[in-house]
């Protein structure tokens, strides 16, 4: 999933792994029970950066597809069919926290049976087969409005689906699939939806919308719910969104307030799962940046906050600073984010698309990233190089060999000389300090198809401000290194809201005017929990914002869906690393501060937020 802000997102899949092979390096200072007495209740506050939630309905469009809307907000109230991760470092499916039992595969992987546990919604309705049918029917009718949709995948790959019992749904698939991939990257998309949501007006009887039984009736329900999902003023009072099956319910929601409390949650006393919330209240508070959140933590105004590495001493071998800047006020916890950082060139830009479609240009852009230098100077040692479509940290079975080459920089380690050689050998010449195409054409030594004479290798890189304090310096360092090879990059910092129009792929033409886009990171935390790439790199995928398209890439992605062989996955991943559908950036791991009196807080590499595990001591 795209995560656009540290501690909330950041920008725009997640994970998957066999837990035994893949435990995150989540080093931490002590956050355990002390001799102090445990307190019943208490209000815990979590600092999120830059933005508040913008969409409450789990059926989410790509423009709102981010961690701060899902894991940090929606999942507190509405539990997916299958939960992933835990109050710790796991990235595996978590059946005890899921509303359904493990799926049962038969017919060589072409039939899947889902059994619901019979949990209850807060209005007393059972989380049952009809609630799953509601989601599947909505997905069938409105897939174009769902961020997790990729052509050919769910619901396209379902021959049929039906409720085969009060608490059972059976899916018949169009071919045999890997049960691991289908569970992690397809069933993971489903969130049961209650009868209270199957309506076309606020006064309508629950279930009267008819979407749970008829695909044809879903568009009217979608139109109503989409409007309600955007009306933030009614979220906390709506009987629709007040029907929850998770451990928390929304009791208050505000934006642009001082102090900046955005969301307040109270325990859902009818929650069927375990553990039950131990806190009496949980708050999400937005701060303009990580530095402000850090100061609030030190001042005792929040209990959990991301610490900006720019304000920390150089990292030690443990991944933590040698001294704790919070002192007795709190503990530190390192969390290796299971994510990749990148910026996306716009392959459909009318002037620059042809330039970005040349592999040698993308190779030059990657060669110009001094990731080792950035780690030392910008990140103070709290980052690792990015080199492909699979996270480089924590170590995992999905990493192909070429991503690990050159100290993790992959096949294109920093080299200004190689970048310049690539460009000049393809007909570019530095004119006035900027590489300029002097040899248009399509031979191996020409600039390439669609590139005109005198085309400048100059572009604007848009990026979301209000995020981590290292984003600006990182991009500034990249801009300076690119200039050494005659590539002129103009940085344009904008608010996330101003970048909304750039979050979906655009068709070639004058309206497709943006050049390149950096939003942060992609966390492999849903709807795909195996990093097989269909959400990011497949032709037509909603999160493939830059419109990258490559038939070989599409084929290799598809093979990971039907073949569980690790060799097949590595073939896909190695190709992605070498082809550069995106330009990889360093991956910063997170250092979190936790107030000394708050306990059992173990933050997830996927940003799962599970405050029902937390409690205070005196």
Average pLDDT, the chain: 90
Name the least confident of 164-178, 267-281, 296-310.
296-310
Say what the pLDDT of residue 596 is.
96
360 Cα distance to chain centroid: 29
Q: What is the pLDDT of residue 6?
A: 37
Structure tokens at 531: 């990093």
What is the reported pLDDT for 317?
86
- Residue whose structure tokens are 């503990």: 331
Q: CATH code at 494?
A: 3.10.105.10
Residues in the chain: 618
What pLDDT shows up at residue 504?
84
Q: Give the number of other CB atoms < 10 A from CB of residue 31.
A: 19
Strands 516-523 and 2-3, sheet pairing: antiparallel
Q: Specify whether 390 is located in the same domain as 525.
A: yes
Q: 249 and 112: one domain?
A: no
484 belongs to a structural domain:
yes
Q: What is the mean pLDDT of residues 80-101?
A: 93
pLDDT of 25 higher than 70: no
More confident residue, 336 or 217: 217
On whether both 160 and 195 belong to a single domain, the answer is yes
DSSP code of 321? B
Total of domains in the chain: 3
44-58, 193-207, 325-339, 559-573 — most confident range: 193-207
Q: Model confidence at 466, in pLDDT bands (50, 70, 90)?
A: low
Is the per-residue pLDDT at 179 higher than 80? yes
230 within some domain: no
In terms of domains, do 600 and 580 share one? no
pLDDT of residue 376: 92
With respect to residue 19, please indicate whether it lies within any of the assigned structural domains.
yes
Residues 313, 454: Cα–Cα separation, whole Å? 47
Sorted by sequence, the CB contacts under 8 Å of residue 76 that are 6+ apart come out as: 246, 247, 248, 265, 282, 609, 611
Q: What's the token pair of residue 101?
A: 């039992």
Mark which of 154, 188, 222 sits at the end of a domain: 222
Residue 240 lies in a domain: no
Give the separation between CA 510 and CA 513, rounded to whole angstroms.
Answer: 6
Question: How far, in Å, are 64, 232, 271, 386 from residue 241 at the CA level?
Answer: 17, 11, 15, 39
Cis status, amide bond into 527, omega within 30 of 0: yes
pLDDT score, position 489: 98
The encoded tokens of residue 25 equal 């390096």
Assign residue 187 the CATH number of its domain. Answer: 3.90.76.10
For residue 92, tell me if it sits in a domain.
Answer: no
Residues 163 and 259 in one domain: no
Stronger pLDDT, 448 or 588, i.e. the higher one: 448
What is residue 1's DSSP assignment? -
Residue range 8-22: mean pLDDT, rounded: 31
pLDDT, tens digit, 9 for 90 and up, residues 410-441: 999 999 999 999 999 999 999 999 999 999 99
Whole-angstrom CA distances from 440 to 87, 251, 420 are 56, 62, 17
- DSSP, collapsed to helix, strand or coil, labels residue 485 as coil
Question: How many angstroms from the chain centroid is the CA of residue 325?
Answer: 29
The pLDDT of residue 490 is above 90: yes
- pLDDT for 260 equals 62
316 — phi, psi (to 5°)?
Answer: -95, -175
- Does the structure show a pLDDT above 90 at 480? yes
Instruction: Using the Cα atoms of residue 385, residue 366, residue 527 and residue 560 in order, give the sign of their dihedral.
Output: negative
Task: Pick the more confident residue, 335 or 113.
Answer: 113
Note whether 387 and 509 are same-domain residues. Answer: yes
**384 and 464 share a domain?**
yes
Report whether 338 contacts 522 (CB < 8 A).
no
Amino acid 23: pLDDT: 31
Same domain, 122 and 253: no
Residue 255 sits in a domain of what CATH number? 3.40.190.10
* Band of pLDDT at residue 468, cut at 50, 70 and 90: low
109 vs 467: which has the higher pLDDT: 109
Q: According to the model, what pLDDT value does residue 387 have?
A: 97
Instruction: Give the residue from 179, 207, 222 where a domain finishes.
Output: 222
Of all residues in the chain, what percent carry a pLDDT higher than 70? 93
Residue range 84-110: mean pLDDT, rounded: 93
| Residue 154 forms part of a structural domain | yes
Do 278 and 40 meet the contact criterion of CB atoms below 8 Å apart? yes
Cβ-contact 95, 80 below 8 angstroms: no
CA neighbours closer than 13 Å in the CB half-sphere of residue 170: 10
Looking at residue 52, its pLDDT comes to: 84
CA distance 405 to 98: 38
CA distance 528 to 182: 9
The answer on 141 and 209 residing in a single domain is: yes
| SS3 call for 225 | helix
Task: Look at residue 231 and tell me if it is in a domain.
Answer: no
- pLDDT for 394 beyond 90: no
3-state secondary structure 267-290: ECCCCCCCCCCCCCEEEEEEECCH
Burial class (CB in 10 A: 0-12, 13-18, 19+), 543: buried
What is the per-residue pLDDT across 336-356, written as a single tens digit (0 to 9) for each? 888 999 999 999 999 999 999
In a domain, 283, yes or no: yes
Residue with tokens 């390149």: 516
27-45: pLDDT as tens digits: 444 444 444 789 999 999 9
User: 569 is in which domain, residue-wise?
Assistant: 339-588
Cα separation, 343 vs 353, whole angstroms: 15
Same domain, 417 and 367: yes
For residues 355 and 457, state if they share a domain: yes
Q: What is the pLDDT of residue 495?
A: 85
Residue 152 has pLDDT above 70, yes or no: yes
Residue 170 backbone class (left: φ over 0; alpha: ψ -120 to 50; beta: rest): beta
Check whether 605 has a pLDDT greater than 90. no
Give, to the nearest 10 degrees, the angle between helix 218-230 and helix 129-142: 90
In angstroms, the CA 302 to CA 329 distance is: 11
Task: Based on the fold, state whether residues 455 and 581 are members of the same structural domain.
Answer: yes
Where is the domain boundary, 222, 255, 281? 222
Q: What is the pLDDT of residue 290?
A: 81
């Amino acid at each position: 999933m795209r995560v656009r802000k540290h501690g909330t997102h950041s920008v725009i899949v997640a994970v998957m792994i066999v837990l035994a092979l893949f435990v995150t390096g989540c080093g931490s200072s002590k956050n355990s029970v002390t001799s102090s007495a445990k307190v019943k209740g208490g209000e815990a506050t979590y600092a999120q950066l830059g933005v508040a939630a913008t969409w409450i309905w789990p059926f989410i469009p790509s423009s709102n597809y981010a961690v701060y809307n899902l894991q940090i907000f929606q999942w507190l109230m509405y539990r997916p069919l299958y939960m992933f991760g835990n109050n710790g470092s796991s990235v595996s499916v978590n059946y005890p926290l899921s509303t359904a039992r493990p799926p049962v595969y038969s017919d060589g992987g072409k039939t899947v049976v889902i059994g619901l546990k019979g949990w209850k919604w807060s209005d007393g309705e059972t989380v049952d087969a009809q609630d799953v049918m509601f989601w599947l029917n909505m997905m069938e009718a409105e897939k174009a409005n769902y961020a997790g949709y990729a052509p050919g995948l769910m619901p396209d790959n379902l021959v049929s689906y039906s409720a085969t019992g009060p608490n059972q749904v059976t899916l018949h698939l169009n071919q045999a699939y890997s049960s691991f991939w289908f569970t992690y990257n397809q069933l993971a998309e489903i969130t049961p939806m209650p009868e209270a949501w199957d309506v076309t007006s606020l006064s309508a009887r629950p279930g009267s919308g008819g979407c749970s039984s008829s695909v044809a009736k879903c568009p009217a329900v979608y139109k109503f719910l989409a409007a309600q999902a955007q009306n933030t003023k009614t979220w906390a009072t709506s009987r629709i969104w007040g029907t929850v099956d998770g451990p928390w319910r929304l009791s208050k929601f505000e934006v642009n307030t001082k102090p900046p409390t955005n969301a307040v949650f109270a325990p859902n006393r009818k929650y069927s799962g375990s553990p039950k919330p131990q806190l009496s209240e949980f708050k999400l508070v937005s701060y303009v940046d990580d530095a402000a959140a850090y100061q609030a933590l030190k001042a005792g105004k929040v209990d959990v906050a991301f610490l900006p590495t720019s304000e920390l001493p150089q990292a030690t071998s443990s991944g933590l600073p040698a001294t704790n800047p919070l002192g007795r006020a709190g503990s530190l916890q390192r969390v290796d984010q299971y994510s990749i950082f990148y910026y996306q060139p716009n392959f459909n830009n009318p002037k620059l698309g042809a330039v970005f479609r040349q592999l040698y240009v993308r190779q030059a852009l990657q060669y110009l990233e001094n990731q080792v230098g950035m780690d030392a100077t910008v990140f103070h040692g709290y980052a690792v190089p990015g080199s492909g479509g699979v996270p480089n940290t924590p170590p995992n079975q999905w990493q192909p060999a070429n991503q690990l080459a050159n100290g993790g920089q992959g096949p294109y380690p920093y080299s200004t000389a190689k970048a310049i050689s690539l460009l000049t050998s393809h007909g570019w010449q530095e004119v006035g300090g900027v590489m300029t195409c002097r040899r248009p054409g399509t031979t191996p030594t020409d600039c390439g198809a669609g590139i005109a004479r005198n085309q400048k290798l100059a572009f604007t890189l848009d990026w979301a401000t209000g995020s981590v304090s290292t984003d600006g310096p990182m991009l500034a360092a990249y801009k300076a290194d690119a200039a050494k090879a005659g590539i002129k990059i103009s940085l344009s910092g904008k608010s996330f809201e101003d970048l909304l129009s750039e979050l979906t792929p655009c068709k070639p033409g004058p309206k497709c005017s943006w050049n390149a886009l950096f939003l942060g990171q992609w966390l492999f935390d849903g709807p795909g929990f195996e990093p097989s790439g269909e959400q990011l790199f497949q032709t037509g995928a909603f999160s493939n914002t830059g419109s990258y398209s490559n038939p070989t890439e599409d084929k290799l992605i598809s093979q990971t869906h039907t073949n569980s062989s690790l060799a097949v996955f590595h073939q896909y991943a190695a190709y992605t690393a070498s082809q550069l559908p995106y330009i990889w950036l360093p991956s910063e791991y997170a250092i979190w501060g936790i107030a000394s009196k708050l306990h059992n807080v173990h933050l997830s590499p996927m940003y799962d937020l599970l405050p029902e595990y937390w409690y205070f001591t005196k």
